[in-house]
Structure 1
Amino acid sequence: MLRFALLLLLLPFLCCCFRGGEGSTFTFVNKCGDTVWPGILSNAGKPRLKTTGFELASSASRAVAAPGGWSGRFWARTGCAAAGSAGVWSCATGDCGSGRVECDGAGAAPPTTLAEFTLAPAAGRDFYDVSLVDGYNLPLLVEASDGKGCPAAGCLVDVGQRCPAELRVAGQGSACRSACDAFGKPEYCCSGAFASPATCRPTIYSQIFKAACPNSYSYAFDDPTSIFTCSGGADYTITFCPDSVPSMKSSRNSSSSPSPTSATTSSGGSSTSTSRPAGGMMLGDDPWLADLATDGAVPSANSLSFLRHSLILILLL
């Protein structure tokens, strides 16, 4: 009887522990006034999802499943159509160059707002962010739908309204190029002699993106608190052109600020702290962060060790 009671007590932990390896469901929601065509790109060595691109009408939604341990990126293509006598299919922004709705393993042409994910392989944590490193083409919001209070991430404003003339895209009022894409200089691309957090600093252009969307990546070595984390196994909603996000504002202003790293958060000699979201974790809270960029994250074995010892205790009773 005691053995059965202990097993019941451990049941919630068992469910939580093993859910991390089950993967996640991504639900794409289009609140834009026009049709968009989401694109999906898996990182190198990760399985291709069931679809790599699809049409999503205004007010429509669609769910796509991803296995545990998957990593990759999502974006929205706009202004897509077949043109010319050959009927070649292409998009005004976010085009992946495949010539059709499916991207078939190709990435987005800048400027494009990106949602990037690394899912926990087992008993770990997911990592996600919204990036403007490749520029901006529309507002985007990422929300975890697991009921665990994980923070939202996103860029919720029309950056095109603040875009400098030299970064604008002709004929695309909302699209805004990154300085790297527009000028190709190492100091804007964090390449060559500027390929480290110590040498690649915020620029006047990246600061425009950061001011508009403070919890999105604005350049390659941006503030580490632009990456968010949630318990593995969460499902996510990715909304294009979100109309309101009260959960994001409250999650970023609800508690104390962490200490930023000087290599990535200081500008003009002064550091900028970022408030810690309610629920979930920030980048500096977990040792996985150092491995995230190389896709080499390994989850902690603490929970599995506890589970193993608990089961042994039950068997000995």
Structure 2
Amino acid sequence: MGLFRNLTGIFTILLILTLSFASSNAIQIKILNTCSYTGWAAANPGGGRQLNQGQTWTLTNVNGRGRIWGRANCAFVRDGRGKCESGDCDGRLECRSNGRAPNTIAEYALDQSNDNDIVGVSVVEGFNIPIGFSNLTGSCTSQESKCTGDVNGACPTELRDPGGCNNPCTVFNNNQFCCTSGNICEATSYSKFFKDLCPYASTYPSDDDGKSICPTGIDYSVVFCPSSSSEDVARSPPSNPSGDSGFLFKILNNCRYTVWAAAIPGGGRKLNHGERWIIDVAPGTTSARIWARTNCSFDDSGIFRCQTGDCSGVLECQGYGQAPNTLAEYTLNGFSNLNFFDISLVDGFNVPMEFSPTSSECSRGIRCTADINGQCPSQLRASDGCNNPCTVFKTDQYCCNSSNCGPTNYSRFFKNRCPNAYSYPKDDQTNLFTCSGWTDYNVVFCPD
């Protein structure tokens, strides 16, 4: 019995020492969301978690190889099934597989050769949200791998995706971009686009620049929307006739709520309060428009819908939005090489708006900021907006299918509140503004 007690005591001490050693070497990765919007963190292995702004999720006892990424614009039901606009992992909240491109990825391979970890940020599968991947000891070959440039805003047209900026392999599916031949592939114009905006990230399969080597046994942090330095900020293209750029339209959401900006041409973008989206529009563009969509979400079947301004249930609009919606309309280099622009309530009203040129030679802008939704006639009231009489009544009097239409009581309701905006289709005399020369434009939702 004494020997048994002694052996038991020795076994207990060894077990405590083993557990203590294992605990001291257990790797943790802390995931923090500093974005101004909700993100759904994902890890394979690890699962997934909704992270509101400022919230943290810690992965414990991490080992081997894996990846961490953020998902955006997700909707899940009680059983954890749903859909995300970017980074979706088979419709699960708790990921069991890698996410759908495009998604910015924090990759790791722990305890590799020579007792080292290899960690880094990759945009090989595209970009959806900014990410930084840092070690917590300062003992690595570099302090942080990150991608914080405005990749979505500057994304080439052919790589644009409702969830972000896609990768060329997914879009074109050939060996040049996918590197499937087994050889070391080279940089392309697309990988250079990503590298210019994110010099501290891997941009194509053979690109090791974004990887850090760290001694095994340290902890890490992954941050969504880390603070960016001046060298990470996206460079705006030139806005003059001699450059390759067209006219820049700077779209700002100053509303206290989220809107989903839409543009034809341009597509669409989710904008939280204070966020900006810049689109580059070619000279000679005609019949273009910009508007805000409100109360957008995925329904239970995973379909994207907006209460106002919806464009066939997609984030990247390919056609005009559904009324009611306040419109910023424009034509570039039209008659006599003038730009024509206006705010229109012909399709109704949903969000206050300002539309103004930035040139000192063409400084007059337009505003429509009245409380039209609150004062909307009962016949025109709609969910989250004030509809137009043509949509409601569908008669020539309001739709102006002939040349004889004129103002009505409903158009006067809009005109009294926004005298510089179009109130019915033939309302041209005081509401169409012109600008000569080369200028950029600001479109502000809910201007001060």
TM-score (structure 1 length as normaliser): 0.62
Residue 188 of structure 1 corresponds to which residue in structure 2?
A: 398
Q: Distance in 2 between matches of 1:57 and 1:87?
A: 21
Q: Matched residues in 2 for 1:148 and 1:28: separation?
A: 21
Aligned-pair distance for 1:18?
5.2
CA distance in 2 between counterparts of 1:67 and 1:130 reads 20
Give deviations 1:61-94, integer Å, cap 9, x for gaps. 121111111121110001000012x211110110
Q: Which has the larger radius of gyration?
A: 2
1:232 counterpart SS class: coil
- Which residues of 2 match residues 148-163 of structure 1 at below 5 A? 148-163=361-376
- Trace 1:123-134 onto structure 2 (pairs within 5 A): 124-134=337-347
The answer to which structure has the higher strand fraction is: 2
Contact 1:20 1:232 in 2 (8 A): no
1:130 aligns to what SS in structure 2? strand
1:81 & 1:110 partners in 2: Cα distance? Answer: 18
Distance in 1, matches of 2:428 and 2:270, equals: 34
CA distance in 2, matches of 1:21, 1:177: 40
Cα contact 2:389–2:398 (8 A) shared by 1: yes
Instruction: Report the counterpart of residue 314 of structure 2 in structure 1.
Output: 100
Q: Label 1:77 to 1:136 Cα distance change in 2 as closer, same or farther (>3 A).
A: same
Q: 1:40 to 1:96 in 2, by over 3 A?
A: same
Q: Which letter maps to 1:228?
A: F
Separation (CA, whole Å) in 2 of partners of 1:222 and 1:240:
23
Unaligned runs of 5+ in 1: 1-16, 43-48, 244-317
Rounded to whole Å, the distance in 1 between the matches of 2:444 and 2:299 is: 28
RMSD (Å) for aligned C-alpha atoms: 2.2
Whether 2:373 is the aligned partner of 1:164: answer no
Tell me how far apart the structure 2 counterparts of residues 41 and 185 of structure 1 sit (CA, whole Å): 27
Q: What one-letter code is carried by the residue in structure 2 that aligns with 1:200?
A: C
Match of residue 225 from structure 1:
430
User: Match of 2:326?
Assistant: 113
**Percentage of identical aligned residues:** 39
- Kept in 2: contact 1:118–1:128 (CA 8 A): yes
Distance 1:120 1:88, change over 3 A: same
Q: Is the 8 A contact 1:117 1:126 kept in 2?
A: yes
In 1, the alpha carbon distance for the partners of 2:406 and 2:315 equals 37
Secondary structure class of the residue paired with 1:226:
coil
Q: Which residues of structure 2 form unaligned runs of 5+?
A: 1-239
The residue type equivalent to 1:110 in the other structure is A
Q: Which has the higher helix share?
A: 1
Taking structure 1 as reference, are residues 233 and 20 closer, same or farther at Cα in structure 2, changes over 3 Å only? farther
Q: Name the amino acid aligned to 1:57.
A: N
Q: Do residues 25 (structure 1) and 243 (structure 2) align?
A: no
State the one-letter code of the partner of 1:58: H
Larger RCO, structure (CA 8 Å, separation 6 or more): 1
Runs (4+) of structure 1 exceeding 4 A deviation are 17-22
Tell me by how many angstroms 1:23 deviates: 2.9
Alpha-carbon distance in structure 2 between the residues aligned to 1:122 and 1:211: 30
Match of 2:351 among 138, 145, 157: 138
Give me the TM-score of the superposition, normalised by structure 2. Answer: 0.45
